[in-house]
Amino acid sequence: MFVARRALPRRTLLKGAGAAVGLPLLEAMTPALTAQEATPAAPAALRRLGFVYMPMGCDPSRWMPEGGTPGGEALGALPPTLEPLEAVRDRVSVVGNLELRKAYPGTHATSNAAFLSAAEAKRTESSDYRLGTTVDQIAARHLGADTKLPSLELAMDLMSMVGQCDNGYACVYQNNLSWASPTDPLPAEAHPRLVFESLFGEGGTPEQCRAALRRRGSLLDSVVGEFKRLGTELGAGDRERVAGYLDAVREIERRVGRAEAAAAEGDLPDLDRPTGVPASYAEHARLMFDLQILALRGDVTRVTTFQLARETSNRTYVEAGVNAPHHPLTHHGNDPAKVAQVAQINRFHVGLFAEFLKKLAAVPEAGGSLLDHVLYLYGSGMGDPNVHDHTDLPVLVAGGAAGNHVGGRHVRFAEPTPLANLHLTLLHEVGVPAESFGDSRGTVAGLLGGAA
């Protein structure tokens, strides 16, 4: 039974056979939330934190803007790789001269492992691996206590490799961005159907989710009655918001189904990708980004991570005009043609992230947009891949964090500065109390906004 109008709980769900669909933030939820203004659930302070990992560094000459100061200055002309972000530049900040000292001796495995942990990976080819709790999981403990999923871990590739992957390091370091503890990596999911079912189904193993799907048909068909009943408790504006959200959920469900049908009729699959995903890398990535939007809108989770590709990936990006495999290109030996192709791949990835940000900006929420209430870090644990260094990392921050993040800024430190400083700053910007993180030595003051 639903609570009367103007006092709807934030955790209200539409339930059907094997389905449980959360709702976007509604005006009818405001009275119940404003009584808790000191908590992160209040509309004015609702914040989410996300991370997107770009593998194998970048071409620095086409990534780094000119200028920048330790205290931050207005972001100037965007360099070629970042040009796709022009439409959302006021919500984007670039941070330069960050480093990952714990990622040395300089490997692909440690680039991925240290990115969110700022910790040193134990060198092992066996199961006695050890790293550190990652920043997303620190946030999840604070932001995810009241959500269906404390955090959501996504990827684009199958994580089936075992044993050694890179210079004597176990594959677990390349496969997992998120670690709940130094010995507890969190596997990421690359299959859109399984992600969709984890967001809106009632849970269970992948096999149970598929069985429930066969019994149920469309997930939304099972909650139509609940939606109609809820409509009697809502004003016109809220009914429109809920209908729009459910339309978005249904469209994603259709896209997942079309991809599965096309895959069943297509050629042999790429062994690095799960079956049942769109044939196009870009469409697969867009689907995974759109699933994040649904999860954030419906408050299914407030913390996400997304690995755009594994380190050492040999994927080719024909859609970006690059026919050569990614990893060999990064060992370019300063060949201008190969460097340019690396930059094309970098720009292609940034372009997909820019599309995601623009979609977030188009979703109304709490007097602004969904982009105003999220904070995303996009970047890599490797700087110049040709030399496998972990200095001057390609990193940018996007979103508003409910007023706590100042966008349109360019911060560049005079000396190499721990990436952990930025992680600590992000925790503060989304309201997570923390005195330190990893090897942090402070925060990045040039990004902090004025909201409480």
DSSP codes, 293-340 = HHHHHTTS-SEEEEESS-TT----BGGGTB-S-HHHHHS-TT-HHHHH
Check whether residue 180 and residue 215 sit in a common domain: no
Same domain? 123 vs 133? yes
pLDDT of residue 228: 76
Rounded CA-CA distance 322/407 in Å is 32
Residues 100 and 149 in one domain: yes
Regarding whether 170 and 52 lie in a shared domain, the answer is: yes
- Evaluate whether 74 touches 412 at the Cβ level (below 8 Å): no
Q: Look at residue 239 in the predicted model and tell me its pLDDT.
A: 86
> What pLDDT score was predicted for residue 60?
95
Which residue has 């709940």 as its token pair?
180
CA 62 to chain centre: 23
| CA–CA gap between residue 371 and residue 382 (Å, rounded) | 27
Please indicate, yes or no, whether residues 354 and 384 belong to a single structural domain of this protein. yes
In a domain, 411, yes or no: yes
Domain co-membership, 51 together with 19: no
Close Cβ partners of 240 (under 8 Å, ≥ 6 residues apart):
none
370 in the same domain as 308: yes
Domain co-membership, 173 together with 212: no
CA distances from 264 to 16, 192, 260, 269, 297 (A): 29, 15, 6, 10, 31
Is residue 297 situated within a structural domain?
Answer: no
| pLDDT value for 19 | 72
CA distance 370 to 7: 22
Q: How high is the pLDDT of residue 38?
A: 38
CATH number for the domain spanning 365: value is 3.40.720
For the chain, residues with pLDDT lower than 50 are 1-6, 35-44, 268, 451-452
- Domains in the chain: how many in total? 2
Q: What is the DSSP string of 30-61?
A: HHHHHTTTTSTTSGGG--EEEEEEPTT---HH
- Residue at 135 is within a domain: yes
Residue 256 tokens read as: 């997942």
Looking only at Cα atoms, what is the longest distance across the chain?
67
C-alpha dist (Å) from residue 73 to 396, 433, 452: 14, 27, 22
Do 313 and 413 fall within a single domain? yes
Instruction: Please report the pLDDT score of residue 212 as a whole number.
Output: 60
Task: Please return the burial class of 291, using the count of CB atoms within 10 Å of its CB with bins 0-12, 13-18 and 19+.
Answer: buried
Do 74 and 116 lie in one domain? The reply is yes
The domain containing residue 210 runs over which residues? 1-41+192-276
